């Protein structure tokens, strides 16, 4: 930031402190964040559509042959941009935001404002089977984080602004302001209070206004419910809930399984080549896997499964409904594969819309099986298509309320509210019991960097080990005599604990004053005894960058110790005292809950 810009911001802040209250300024920032996040979403959509249209006009899609080539080209362009411009690996959009909230005090680099706006359209526009919602949220979050820093907002306010950005982005893309607010609460574990609700509402409304301003009345899904909920269909919605739950489990395990499968390819070039070819093959046989897949959903909702499936090698058999069902089920299976392969090959995007595509296909499959089972049952296929999306969103993202309100708002009414609740609740319960964490949160939970609605765990997540490490302890060597220790260490220290380290700074034990009290006034033992004779092992060790704050707390509780040594890179680094840890915890708790 230039000195002139700093001066302008300083002058503005002085004026703001005099004339605008913190509450009013937060509301103004929420409106601005919502507008900018909405603008980022619109930019993403338009850039992606421009690339797709350019390819369709400039290149004739002859018998799907170029589906094989385009993903490789798109991934190669992303690879070049990342290698020569970004110069660091791409991060998963929502996971990186969650990490910034818990461990970086809501600070996100400025570069993440524009990186998703370039990498995601290149990936999706050239056929990568991922979505644009994650990159839109990531760009909006980076905008809000940096606005918060420029205007000297505290950590808690920055986190709220990031949640506002996500609400603005989602409201802009789906034109569903209520679902946008609920997404921020469910996914970012935000406490929904009157303090946070108003900024979220303002951001959500400003995001949707941005969408209307640039896109007009254009909506993602142009659909009106033709048949309300029928009580006789309740059992079928329960079956759909169970089906979407197992599909959610499959989706999550396939995601991590494919990423692990690509780990042996150390070079990004090999991952790009293998992944690009794999995506191209899948697109050749199943064209709806191309890009986000929103057109596929719309055609299913309109009851035209032939147009949704498109031209495939199976066209000669499409008169058979069971072939149609098999192809639709293949879309359900391979959407997760194509999406994860796109990520593994170096592409950028989100998982939200691919989840909806997979859910819509599964819901349609279930409805078709019911209608053609020969048992005389008839259900509305469009309704099952919609509710299948809700089931997958609920299970994959652990966001049942987001799923319910999103589909309700998309359809412009609440006629399907009961089946939405049935399916979303069943999917969430089964998936949550089978896999405790989502694609977004698994790695964060493993490292103790995940925010949750549990206030105790959330406070521990916000805490930083560096804040409680003390390093004013005098070290002693194991071969040091008792006399030397008393004269050169004990006499000059105000601590009653002395770490014992060897020449390589590795901790070999600790000495408490209580351990030497019976010897320290016996001059005859000064030259006879060495530190190694009365040192003890540490009751527990804290490993820097490995142990989460929850694990640190557990070690204090299990050991009963008042001080525990910290090991960093295999060497002694300092001590953490229980009193300082609890003081820091209390301070964080006060800041977190006020």
pLDDT tens per residue across span 526-548: 888 888 888 889 889 999 888 87
Closest by Cα among 449, 512, 524, 442 to 481: 524
pLDDT digits (tens, 9 = 90+) for 4-55: 667 777 777 777 777 788 888 889 999 999 999 999 999 999 999 888 888 7
How far the first Cα of the chain sits from its last, in Å, is 32
**In this structure, how many other beta carbons lie within 10 angstroms of the beta carbon of residue 221?**
19
d(CA 243, CA 150): 48
pLDDT score at 448: 62
Q: What is the mean pLDDT of residues 229-255?
A: 93
Per-residue pLDDT band for 557 (boundaries 50, 70, 90) equals: confident
**In this structure, how many other beta carbons lie within 10 angstroms of the beta carbon of residue 489?**
18
**pLDDT higher than threshold 60 for residue 114:** yes
What share of the chain has pLDDT > 70, as a percent?
Answer: 90
pLDDT digits (tens, 9 = 90+) for 286-340: 888 888 888 888 888 888 888 888 777 777 777 888 989 999 999 999 999 999 9
Considering only the top CATH level, what class is 457-593? Answer: alpha beta
Q: Judge if 3-215 and 231-450 fold alike in CATH terms.
A: yes
Are 241 and 422 contacting, i.e. CB atoms less than 8 angstroms apart? yes
pLDDT digits (tens, 9 = 90+) for 271-287: 988 888 898 888 888 88
User: Domain boundaries in the chain?
Assistant: 3-215, 231-450, 457-593
Q: What is the mean pLDDT of residues 401-429?
A: 88
Q: Which helix (H) or strand (E) holds 507?
A: strand 507-512
pLDDT score at 123: 92
The sign of the dihedral angle between the CA atoms of 108, 114, 120, 123 is negative
Planar angle of CA 164, 165, 167, nearest 5 degrees: 65
pLDDT score at 218: 63
Q: Which of 3.30.930.10, 3.30.70.920, 1.10.3080.10, 3.40.50.2000 would CATH assign to domain 3-215? A: 1.10.3080.10
pLDDT score at 137: 92
**Structure tokens, 415:** 């006629």
Are 415 and 228 contacting, i.e. CB atoms less than 8 angstroms apart? yes
pLDDT score at 62: 46
Which CATH topology does 231-450 take? Answer: Clc chloride channel (1.10.3080)
329 Cβ partners below 8 Å, 6+ apart?
361, 362, 365
d(CA 288, CA 315): 14
Q: What is the mean pLDDT of residues 219-240?
A: 81
3-state DSSP assignment of residue 389: helix
- Cross-strand bridge partners of residue 565: 575
| C-alpha separations of 229 from 167, 385, 392, 443 in Å | 29, 14, 20, 39
Using a cut of 0.85, tell me whether the model's pTM lies above it: no
**pLDDT higher than threshold 60 for residue 489:** yes
3-state DSSP assignment of residue 471: coil
The sign of the dihedral angle between the CA atoms of 77, 82, 83, 86 is positive
């Amino acid at each position: 930031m230039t000195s002139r810009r700093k001066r302008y911001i300083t002058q503005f802040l002085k004026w703001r402190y005099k004339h605008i209250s913190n509450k009013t300024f937060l509301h103004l920032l929420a409106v601005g964040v919502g507008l900018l996040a909405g603008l980022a979403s619109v930019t993403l959509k338009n850039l992606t559509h421009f690339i797709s249209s350019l390819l369709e006009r400039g290149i004739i899609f002859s018998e799907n042959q170029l589906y094989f080539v385009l993903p490789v080209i798109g991934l190669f362009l992303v690879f070049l941009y990342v290698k020569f411009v970004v110069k660091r690996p791409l991060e998963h959009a929502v996971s990186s935001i969650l990490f910034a909230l818990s461990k970086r005090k809501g600070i996100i680099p400025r570069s993440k404002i524009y990186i998703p706006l370039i990498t995601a359209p290149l990936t999706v526009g050239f056929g990568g089977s991922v979505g644009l919602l994650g990159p839109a949220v990531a760009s909006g979050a980076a905008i809000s984080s940096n606005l918060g820093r420029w205007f000297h907002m505290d950590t808690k306010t920055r986190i709220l602004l990031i949640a506002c950005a996500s609400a603005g982005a989602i409201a802009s893309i789906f034109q569903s302001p209520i679902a946008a607010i609920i997404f921020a609460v469910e996914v970012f574990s935000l406490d929904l209070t009157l303090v946070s609700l108003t900024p979220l509402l303002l951001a959500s409304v400003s995001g949707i206004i941005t969408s209307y301003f640039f896109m007009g009345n254009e909506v993602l899904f142009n659909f009106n419910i033709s048949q309300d909920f029928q009580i006789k269909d309740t059992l079928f919605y329960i079956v759909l809930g169970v089906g979407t739950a197992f599909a959610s489990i499959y989706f999550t395990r396939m995601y991590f399984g494919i990423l692990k499968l690509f780990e042996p390819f150390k070079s990004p070039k090999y991952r790009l080549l293998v992944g690009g070819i794999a995506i191209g093959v899948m697109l050749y046989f199943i064209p709806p896997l191309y890009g986000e897949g929103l057109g596929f959903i719309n055609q299913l909702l309109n009851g035209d499964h032939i147009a949704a499936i498109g031209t495939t090698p199976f066209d000669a058999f499409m008169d058979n409904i069971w072939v149609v069902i098999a192809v639709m089920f293949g879309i359900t299976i391979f959407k997760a594969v194509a999406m994860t392969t796109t990520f593994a090959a170096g592409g950028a995007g989100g998982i939200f819309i691919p989840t909806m595509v997979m859910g819509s296909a599964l819901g349609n499959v279930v409805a078709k099986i019911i209608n053609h089972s020969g048992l005389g049952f008839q259900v509305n296929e469009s309704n099952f298509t919609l509710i299948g999306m809700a089931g997958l969103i609920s299970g994959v993202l652990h966001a049942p309320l987001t799923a319910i309100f999103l589909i309700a708002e998309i359809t412009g009414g609440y006629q399907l509210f009961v089946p939405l609740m049935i399916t979303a609740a069943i999917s969430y319960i089964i998936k949550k019991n089978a896999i405790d964490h989502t694609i977004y949160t698994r790695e964060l939970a493993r490292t103790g960097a995940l925010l949750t609605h549990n206030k105790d765990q959330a406070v521990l997540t916000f805490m930083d080990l560096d804040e409680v490490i003390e390093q004013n302890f005098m070290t002693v060597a194991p071969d040091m005599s008792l006399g030397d220790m008393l004269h050169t260490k004990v006499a000059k220290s105000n601590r009653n604990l002395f770490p014992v380290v060897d020449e390589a700074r590795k901790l070999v034990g600790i000495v408490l004053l209580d351990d030497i009290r019976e010897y320290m006034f016996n001059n005859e033992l000064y030259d006879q005894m060495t530190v190694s004779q009365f040192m003890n092992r540490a009751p527990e060790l804290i490993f820097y960058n490995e142990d989460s704050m929850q694990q640190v707390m557990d070690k204090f509780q299990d050991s009963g110790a008042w001080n525990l040594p910290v090991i960093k890179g295999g060497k002694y680094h300092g001590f953490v005292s229980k009193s300082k840890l609890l003081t820091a915890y209390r301070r964080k708790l006060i800041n977190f809950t006020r």
